[in-house]
Amino acid sequence: MKTEIIRIDPVRPEPYKLEYCGAVLRYGGLVAFPTETVYGLGANAFLDNAVRKVFEAKGRPADNPLIVHVAYYASAESAGEFADGRQRNLFYALGAKFWPGPLTMIIKKRSVIPDSVSCGLDTVGIRMPSNRIAAGLLRAARVPIAAPSANSSGRPSPTRFEHVLEDMYGKVDVIIDGGECSVGVESTVLDLNGPEPTVLRPGAVTREDIARVAGTCGEYGWSSADLHVDKPRSPGMKYRHYAPKARMLMFSGTPDAVRRAILARLRAEKTAGKRVGVLETEEQICYYNEADVLLSLGPENEPRAHAQALFAALRQFDAAGVDVIFARALEAEGVDDAVMNRMFRAAGGTVLPAEE
C-alpha cells in the first residue's frame, strides 16, 4: 500500500491538511496521528471494514477492543449520547474535569458502534484527546474515530513520528508527522460499569485524580498475576506488551541494592559477550559507565518525565542492538504507576528482588 506522509504543525495545524486527513478517515482510510498520549492509528468507527483494517495493519489480536475518539466540543455532553442513563452523571462529571485529555471511560455500548470496535463486548471505551492535531482531525472527520496505538502489536507504543514510520509505513493510507507526544504513555482506562469507577489501565490521570471527582475509585491490580489470567477485565492486559527486542530485567529494592545487583549481572553479561543497556533515573545513571548504552528516564522525582521518556528509550535500545536491558522498579506512585505498569509488562511480568 502507498503511504502518504503529511507534516502538520503541532502548534498551528494547517486547516486544509486537517480537512484532507479528516476526509481520508471519513471515507474509510487509515490515518496515523499524534495525540497527547501516544500516536494513534485511526479509522471511521462507524465503518466495519475500516475498523478491520486497523487490526490487520497492527497484527492486533481479534479480542482486544479499540478506543473510540471523539472531537472536542464545549462540554462532554455530545459524547454523552454514547452513555446510558445510569452512567451519565459520572461520565459528565469526569468528562468536564478531565476532557479533553488522557482519560478513556468504558461505558455501555450503543448499537451505532459496530462489534468490530468492541470485539463483541457490550461496552465501549470513549476518549476526547487534547492534542491540537488530534482535536482538529476529529472535528474535520465529523465521525468518531476508533484508534489503538499506532505500533505493531506487542511493540512499544510510538511517541514520535519516526516510531510510527518504523511500524506502519506501507500498511496505512496516511501518517501524520506532528511532533512528539507530551504525555508519552497511553490513556488511563476507567471502567464505569461496576459499583465504583475502576482503573483498568493506569495513565496520566491517576486514581487519586479520579477519586477527587467521583468520591471513590478502585484499581484493577496490575502488578500481580493479572498478566497471566485468561479473562481479565480489560482484554489488552493479558498480552505481553511494549516489548523491546532485547531481554529486559527489572530489579526492585533501594537504589544502592539495585545498583549492586545490576552491576553484578551486567558484568556477567558483558563477559558472555552481550551488549548491555541500562535504563535509570538521572541521579543513578552515572554509576553504569560499563554498560554499552545508558538511557535516562529523567530526574527521580519527576514521574511525568519518566512517562515521556520510556517508550522512546525502549525503541532506542533496540536500534542500538542491545541484548539485555537493566532497569529499576520505581515506587509506583502518581504517574509512575502508569510507567511501572508498562515497564513491568515490557519485562514480561517479572521483577527480581535485589538483595540488601
Give start and end residues of each alpha helix (H) in the chain.
Answer: 15-26, 48-58, 85-98, 115-118, 132-141, 161-168, 207-214, 255-271, 303-319, 336-346
Pick the closer one to Mg ion by CB: 116 or 149: 149
Which of 21, 30, 76, 124 is the binder for ligand AMP (CB under 6 A)? 124
- The least distance separating ligand AMP from the CB of residue 124, rounded to whole angstroms, comes to 5
Considering CB under 6 A, how many residues would be counted as binding ligand AMP? Answer: 20
Pattern 180-219, ligand AMP, x by CB under 6 A: ------x--x----------xx------------------
Which of 37, 104, 149, 198 is the binder for Mg ion (CB under 5 A)? 149
Binding region for Mg ion (CB under 5 A) out of 9-17, 142-150, 221-229, 327-335? 142-150
- All cell numbers assigned to 318: 533496540
Is residue 123 part of the contact set for ligand AMP (CB under 6 A)?
yes
Q: What are phi and psi of 107, to 5 degrees?
A: -130, 175
CA–CA separation, 139 and 150 (whole Å): 20
The listed partner (Mg ion, ligand AMP, none) that binds 201, CB under 5 to 8 Å by sort, is ligand AMP
Binding region for ligand AMP (CB under 6 A) out of 235-243, 262-270, 275-283, 336-344? 235-243
CA–CA separation, 170 and 1 (whole Å): 5
Is residue 64 part of the contact set for ligand AMP (CB under 6 A)?
yes
3-state secondary structure of 3: coil
Give start and end residues of each alpha helix (H) in 99-189.
Answer: 115-118, 132-141, 161-168
Is residue 223 part of the contact set for ligand AMP (CB under 6 A)?
no
CA–CA separation, 196 and 72 (whole Å): 26
CA–CA separation, 343 and 350 (whole Å): 10
Residues forming contacts to ligand AMP in the complex (CB under 6 A) are 64-67, 106, 118, 121, 123-125, 148-149, 186, 189, 200-201, 234-237
Residues forming contacts to Mg ion in the complex (CB under 5 A) are 149
